[in-house]
Amino acid sequence: MTLTIVGHGYVGLVSACVFADFGNEVYVIGRNKEKINRLKNGDPIIFEPGLKELLEKNLKAGRLHFTLDYQEAIHKSEVVFITVGTPPKDNGEADLSSVFQVAENIAKNLSNHFTVVSCKSTVPVGTNQKVEEIIKKYASKKAQFAVASCPEFLREGSAIFDTLNADRIVIGSSSKKAIEILLKLHQPFSSKKIITDLASAELIKYASNAILATKISFSNLIAFYCEKTGADVEKVLDAVGLDKRIGRIFMNPGVGYGGSCLPKDVLALIDTGKKLNIDTSLLEAVDKVNYQAKKNFLEKILKNHQGKKIAIWGLSFKPNTDDIRFAPSIFIIENLLKHDFKIKVFDPEAMRNIKKIFGEKIEYASNPYEAAKGTDQLIILTEWNEFKQIDLKKLKKILKKPVIFDGRNIYDPLLLKNLGFKYFSVGR
Ligand code: UGA
């Protein structure tokens, strides 16, 4: 099949590489010449495990084409995916301007063979109906098309695995022909397929991210109770999670959820709810607890710190990515700077991005030990694997004071205590 994917972020580029790897001819449209040239040369721009290899392989096979030109790509394609960003506006509403602009550009290049225009961007319920109206307005009278919604559920850091092993593939459309074409395209995936209407597909995506955020905030709320009562949140949630109706997965307390999806999607769902006159207090509480998780952790540091020199391990919003969008590290660093701390940071992938925000206001180390050297305490904000089995005896010698504030509960408190550390974690 020949496809076009508009956008080359995590969703667009990963989908493009995976579909190309199944033998499809894939065009990827961007709007920045420099980025398109980098992609053509096998540079994925973002860091995502396995992506560079998959990109290079499919470029070499001649199945992946990067372009700025809608005309070159659209008229050849049976399916066009929209994968552009829908960032939050100040009021939490999703900014749909890119989606609508892309819809217009696609419309102007549709030909008289049937094309499915399918949205993978996370968009509020009702958006794809507007996309359909825009396409009708700008497409030629002869153009034949149908609109569909195919939300994406991949996680950064395991995006290729998630795409190949999705728990479900959701296809929403009122057009039987569009559904048939999208089923054919997804035939190599063994995932369960859910066929539905446009509105349900759009809402499935928000409902999924909202329940994930709710699980995390609930776990953080229980951690607050544990800190006040002396209970151990890990033991509490282990036991709670053994109930098959609840489960333990995605119930890890910490410094709160970050990233470009959960924070923005909770806010966008609140915004949609308000417009529909629905009581959104449950979702508002999820967002509020997420802020409280970061704030509690900061207060723990401010109350128990051993001096103004501080090391931070982990800056990305989660491991295996260089993405720092809405990362708790930004909130913590901003606030520690306000309190005149001298900060030295290390992250295996995200230092370049954090430097764009903080520049020379903080120091950058080339490994975890160098970051810790000579500082009065260590903070851990991302649970990268390489921190989990670090040489703790060596670390203790390097730090001026053996104090760790662990925002991800990666160490055993008893082990740390026996090694002579003062160890502050979350809910334990
Ligand atoms: C999330 C969803 O998990 C994906 O299914 C979805 O496709 C994606 O958003 C999206 O909408 O595009 P992602 O943001 O990549 O994926 O990362 P997650 O693994 O969901 O982690 C989000 C944040 O929650 C991270 O900051 C992570 O540290 C935090 N988290 C996660 C916790 O604090 N506790 C947990 O138990 C799990």
Q: What is the DSSP string of 329-389?
A: HHHHHHHHHHTT-EEEEE-SS-HHHHHHHHGGGSEE-SSHHHHHTT-SEEEE-S--HHHHT
In the structure encoding, which two tokens stand for residue 129, read together? 């109906």
Q: Which residues lie below 8 Å from residue 356, measured CB to CB, with a gap of 6+?
A: none
Partners of 173 in the β-ladder: 148
Closest protein CA for atom 24 of ligand 1: 257
Closest protein CA for atom 2 of ligand 1: 155
Which ligand 1 atom lies nearest to the CA of residue 213? 24
* Distance from the alpha carbon of residue 262 to the mean position of ligand 1, in angstroms: 6
Which among 162, 257, 426 is the best mutation to test ligand 1's pocket, defined by most ligand atoms within 8 Å of the CB? 257
- Asked if residue 372 lies in contact with residue 323, where contact means CB atoms within 8 angstroms, the answer is no
* Distance from the alpha carbon of residue 367 to the mean position of ligand 1, in angstroms: 26
* Distance from the alpha carbon of residue 181 to the mean position of ligand 1, in angstroms: 30
- Asked if residue 63 lies in contact with residue 26, where contact means CB atoms within 8 angstroms, the answer is yes
pLDDT lower than 70: segments of the chain: none
Which ligand 1 atom lies nearest to the CA of residue 159? 15
Return the closest-CA partner of residue 160 out of 58, 82, 37: 58
In the structure encoding, which two tokens stand for residue 426, read together? 């979350």
Which ligand 1 atom lies nearest to the CA of residue 328? 26
Which ligand 1 atom lies nearest to the CA of residue 317? 26
* Distance from the alpha carbon of residue 317 to the mean position of ligand 1, in angstroms: 9
Is 261 an annotated catalytic residue?
Answer: yes
Q: Is the CB of 152 under 6 A from ligand 1?
A: yes
User: Across the chain, how many H-helices and E-strands are there?
Assistant: 18, 14
Q: Is the CB of 318 under 6 A from ligand 1?
A: yes
* Distance from the alpha carbon of residue 76 to the mean position of ligand 1, in angstroms: 35
**Which pLDDT score, from 0 to 100, does residue 230 have?**
97
In the structure encoding, which two tokens stand for residue 227, read together? 């800190």
Q: Is the CB of 38 under 6 A from ligand 1?
A: no
Closest protein CA for atom 13 of ligand 1: 155
Q: Is the pTM of this model over 0.85?
A: yes
Helix (H) or strand (E) holding 73: helix 70-74
In angstroms and rounded to an integer, the radius of gyration of the C-alpha atoms of the chain is 23
**Which pLDDT score, from 0 to 100, does residue 335 have?**
98
* Distance from the alpha carbon of residue 228 to the mean position of ligand 1, in angstroms: 27
Q: Is the CB of 216 under 6 A from ligand 1?
A: yes
* Distance from the alpha carbon of residue 198 to the mean position of ligand 1, in angstroms: 24
Q: Is the CB of 347 under 6 A from ligand 1?
A: no
Can you tell me which residue has the tokens 């959701």? 170
**Which pLDDT score, from 0 to 100, does residue 222 have?**
98
Return the closest-CA partner of residue 261 out of 305, 323, 217: 323
Q: Rounded to an integer, what distance in angstroms lies between the CA atom of residue 150 and that of residue 189?
A: 14
Q: Helices 281-304 and 198-229: crossing angle, nearest 10°?
A: 40
**Which pLDDT score, from 0 to 100, does residue 24 have?**
98
Which ligand 1 atom lies nearest to the CA of residue 259? 14
Burial 283-314 (b: 16+ CB within 10 A, else e): beebbebbebbbebbbebbeeebeeebbbbbb
Which ligand 1 atom lies nearest to the CA of residue 327? 26
Q: Of 17, 119, 150, 261, which one is the catalytic site residue?
A: 261
In the structure encoding, which two tokens stand for residue 120, read together? 């993978």
